[in-house]
Amino acid sequence: MSTSIPHIDRTSHEPRQLRYHSAIIKHFIPLTPSVSSFKLTVRPESDIFTFLPGQWLDVSIPDVKQIGGFSLTSTPADLPDIELVIQKSENPPARWFHQGDGILGKSVNVRVGGSFTFPAPSLSLERFERWVFIAGGVGLNPIISMLSHLVTLPQCPPIHVLYASKAEQAYFIDRLETLSSQLPLHVNLYLTGKGDISSSLRSIRRQLTQGDLTPLVNERTLVYVCGPPKMTDEIVDISKDLGAAKVMYEKWW
């Protein structure tokens, strides 16, 4: 998130749980030169720790004054293990996570928050004939949690994922490939930049445009969007103009 407005202030209007839970950092894996996956385990005494796919964590780190905010990329079925994907930045909590092996075995306190969830409360999924998930950059994080959760559902309608990223910064391609073999899932990668990706998924070397949404979005479509603010605003407006039945979104900074 941006260092200009702290996460805790930017999300002050969002619902969040009252209680913090202790979690231990187990290991981390670099996904790109600037993004790593961190695996944590919630301590056994935190037996009431729950979350919905798409939610984020307030992360309180010892000796770091600022509270971090990071989306969960794991699912409730993975508990007590949780996964956070964090991009390098000058944001103090993100910088702390990227200091190397010194964080392994250390404890942080985490609290669940956010209203960008799948399924959303009181949302009847039966009314939609297609689900469309659109992610830009690290906006993929809550989306991948949602998609991974869909595997546990008894059935799903056709699902389309549109993922826009610089090629050298794209990640979770292997996870998207696996999900596409488990679900009625169609993935399009919209790649810019100079990097190269080897994948069985459909790769398109340009930016995502309105024309990509037009054949997918109508009055029976459920749309989820997460990405940088400008992209998210544009996609939300396009989806509404196309008559989407419901548009859920979250901006990531």
Each residue of 78-106: pLDDT tens digit? Answer: 999 999 999 999 999 999 999 999 999 99
Neighbours of 245 (CB within 10 A): 16
Residues 6+ apart with CB under 8 A from 189: 163, 165, 170, 173, 197, 199, 201, 202, 203, 204
Distances (CA, A) of 245 to 126, 132, 240: 12, 11, 8
Please tell me whether residues 175 and 64 are part of one structural domain.
Answer: no
| 200-229: average pLDDT | 96
pLDDT at 2: 40
What's this model's pTM, rounded to 2 decimal places? 0.95
pLDDT of residue 3: 44
Q: 135-165, pLDDT tens digit by residue?
A: 999 999 999 999 999 999 999 999 999 999 9
For residue 119, being part of any structural domain is answered with no
Q: Last residue of a domain, which of 67, 88, 113? A: 113
Asked whether residue 1 is domain-assigned, the answer is no
What pLDDT score does 86 carry? 97
What total of structural domains would you count in the chain?
2
Q: What angle do CA 170, 91, 49 make, to 5 degrees?
A: 80
Asked whether the predicted pLDDT for residue 1 surpasses 50, the reply is no
The CATH number assigned to the domain holding 32 equals 2.40.30.10
Give the model confidence (pLDDT) of 47-68 as tens digits: 689 999 999 999 999 999 999 9
pLDDT tens by residue, 63-74: 999 999 999 999
**CATH number (domain holding residue 152):** 3.40.50.80
Quick one: pLDDT band at residue 46, thresholds 50, 70, 90? low
Is residue 174 scored above 50 in pLDDT?
A: yes
Structural domain boundaries, residue 183 = 125-251
Same domain, 94 and 176: no
Q: Is residue 225 a part of any domain in this protein?
A: yes
Look at residue 121 in the predicted model and tell me its pLDDT.
86
Task: With respect to residue 120, please indicate whether it lies within any of the assigned structural domains.
Answer: no
